[in-house]
Amino acid sequence: MKIPCEYCGQMIPETEQICPIAVNRSLKRAAHSVPTTIEELRAYCRHHNLPLADMRVFLGEDYRGAKAFGIYRNKATGNIVVYKNKADGTRAVRYEGSDEAYAVNELYLKIKERVAEQKRHLPPKEQVNQGGIKRGFVKSIFTQSIGYIIVCIIVFIILAVGGFSTEPSSGYYAYGGHFYYYDSSSWYEWDIYDEE
């Protein structure tokens, strides 16, 4: 995007630090406290163990292969170039100019975007507590235990309601010198003398 120079009024890119006449005080940078040189970006990537080759990111190299991002200093012009090589091998220059900090920030933001995208596709890491037991395993055992307890309570309730009935089972009973027979909720008196 071009903006008017506050001194001469000439339209200049917002990424240029100086216009042909004066310093551009409206210079835009996308972020602060990020690497500002190619070497700082390289150190940042090393510190975070980023696999740049696997990410297809090339620092300080004019890589011409397909599907790649990179940054390098053009020896002929002295400008910093941030590029994206497309799948068909064509190149799109994202930035070319003298502002190394701005150029590094452009690639830094792309690297962070790729790392975030990769993290979204990874399964969550299993967490391990201090005893070395996986948290998922402990949660599974706890869930199973709760399930068993609930089943036991249900079985107990069923037995209490239906299994502990006060009704006697079918058969002969002696009570007070008399014999009785119980069958399906009915009592019958049995007289042993009736059989003689």
Residue 47 has pLDDT above 80, yes or no: yes
Residue 41 has pLDDT above 70, yes or no: yes
**Residue 9's pLDDT band (boundaries 50, 70, 90)?**
confident
The Cα-based distances of 167 to 145, 155, 163, 164, 182 in angstroms read: 35, 20, 10, 9, 10
Whether residue 50 contacts residue 36, with contact meaning beta carbons closer than 8 Å, is answered with no
What distance in Å separates the CA atoms of residue 28 and residue 153, rounded to the nearest whole number? 68
Residue 100 has pLDDT above 70, yes or no: yes
Residue 125 has pLDDT above 90, yes or no: no
Any idea where the domains of the chain sit in the sequence? Answer: 31-121, 126-165, 168-196
**Encoding tokens for residue 145?**
């235990």
Cα 164–Cα 165–Cα 170 angle in degrees, nearest 5: 120
Residue 145 has pLDDT above 50, yes or no: yes
- What's the predicted TM-score (pTM) here? 0.48
Question: Mind listing the pLDDT tens digit for each residue in 167-195?
Answer: 777 777 788 878 878 787 787 776 655 55
